[in-house]
């Protein structure tokens, strides 16, 4: 089975490097003119990886991995749906579409082809690219197809664990980005590691509350795509979302060219929470903070002044 990866950002290029060590891969990127990957400087792709800016060169692939930013996925599918529809698709992005409130698999399901899957979990692109051991969740509603994809995409150091709970896997990967921004704010504002631990714990409870309201399974959120990813992204400056939160907490500027999916996800989740009367204090505070409607001091005070209650 020939694999094509659509999207040559850091994660797409890292997957190309990892999977290219096992066989031929096509890596497509808009405007990609060579083998140098801006987001992963120094990465040397295996010779088995064909790098192209011509989407037609992916037509011979039997399996497509879509590593397109979440907020661009809907438009990409609308523009290229006919080219994508007949083949297995794996979404490799995290978040909730700001316009529709849909996750990546729900967007891909509009094409009507084989059941799409999502690849998510605790991973930094740089680690995957150089072959460090990494474990991810592959979620697909069709378990037989999921087992096939699991076998095809696993490598000796990239271990995939299978699930049929697509909603849980998607929401774990999306919501942890919101909590990572909040964790970054906590550290950036100088509140300390104890406060971060409290934020992560209450943030996880909020993730679970939101996911269960959307028919996800609790055990999925306790796994790699939820708890595992939360721990990674809330504790490392390699996380773009955590770094963005650090900048907010310190009152510093942040590179506007850097994708911070948690910002859009916070807005979408806060809006859904209002319509469904869900208690989502961290997501609501992050959404207001990134929109400039409250200050860091006000965001912290809003959380610290909440009523005491039983855990």
Residue found by looking up tokens 């999921």 in the block: 146
254: left (phi over 0), alpha (psi -120 to 50) or beta: beta
**Residue 121 marked in a binding site:** yes
CA distance 311 to 10: 39
3-state secondary structure of 216: coil
**Residue 176 marked in a binding site:** yes
- Relative to beta strand 89-91, strand 158-163 is unpaired
Query: Residue length, the chain?
Result: 311
Residue 2 is a catalytic residue: no
**Residue 215 marked in a binding site:** no
Q: Token digits for 82?
A: 């006919």
**Residue 57 marked in a binding site:** no
Catalytic residue (one of 26, 61, 102, 176)? 176
**Residue 267 marked in a binding site:** no
**Residue 35 marked in a binding site:** no
Beta-sheet strand order (sheet of 89-91): 49-52, 25-28, 3-6, 63-66, 89-91, 117-120, 134-140, 158-163
**Residue 94 marked in a binding site:** yes
**Residue 142 marked in a binding site:** no
**Residue 91 marked in a binding site:** no
Annotated binding site for NADPH: 11, 30, 94, 125, 240, 261
Annotated binding site for sn-glycerol 3-phosphate: 94, 121, 123, 176, 229, 239-241
Annotated binding site: 7-12, 30, 94, 121, 123, 125, 176, 229, 239-241, 261
Active site residues: 176
Annotated binding site for NAD(+): 7-12, 125, 240
């Amino acid at each position: 089975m020939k694999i094509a990866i659509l999207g040559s950002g850091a994660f797409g290029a890292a997957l190309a490097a990892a999977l290219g060590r096992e066989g031929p891969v096509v890596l497509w990127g808009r405007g990609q003119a060579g083998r140098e990957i801006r987001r992963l400087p120094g990465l040397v792709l295996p010779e088995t990886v064909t790098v192209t800016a011509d989407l037609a060169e992916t037509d011979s692939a039997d399996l497509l991995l879509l590593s397109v930013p979440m907020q661009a996925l809907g438009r990409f599918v609308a523009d290229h749906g006919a080219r994508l529809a007949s083949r297995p698709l794996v979404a490799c992005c995290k978040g909730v579409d700001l316009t529709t409130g849909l996750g990546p698999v729900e967007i891909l399901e509009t094409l009507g082809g084989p059941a799409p899957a999502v690849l998510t979990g605790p991973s930094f692109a740089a680690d995957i690219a150089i072959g460090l051991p990494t474990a991810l969740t592959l979620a697909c509603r069709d378990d037989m197809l999921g087992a096939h994809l699991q076998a095809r995409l696993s490598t000796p150091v990239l271990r995939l664990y299978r699930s049929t709970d697509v909603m849980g896997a998607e929401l774990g990967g999306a919501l942890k980005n919101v909590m990572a921004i909040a964790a970054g704010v906590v550290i950036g504002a100088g509140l300390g590691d104890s406060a971060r631990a409290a934020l992560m714990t209450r943030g996880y409870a909020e993730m679970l509350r939101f996911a269960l309201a959307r028919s996800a399974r609790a055990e999925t959120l306790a796994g790699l795509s939820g708890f595992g990813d939360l721990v990674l992204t809330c504790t490392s400056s390699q996380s773009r979302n955590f770094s963005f939160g650090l900048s907010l907490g310190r009152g510093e500027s942040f590179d506007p060219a850097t994708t911070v999916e948690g910002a859009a996800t916070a807005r979408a989740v806060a809006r859904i929470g209002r319509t469904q009367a869900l208690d989502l204090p961290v997501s609501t505070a992050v959404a207001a903070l990134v929109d400039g409607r409250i200050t860091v001091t006000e965001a912290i005070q809003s959380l610290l002044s909440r009523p005491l209650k039983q855990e």
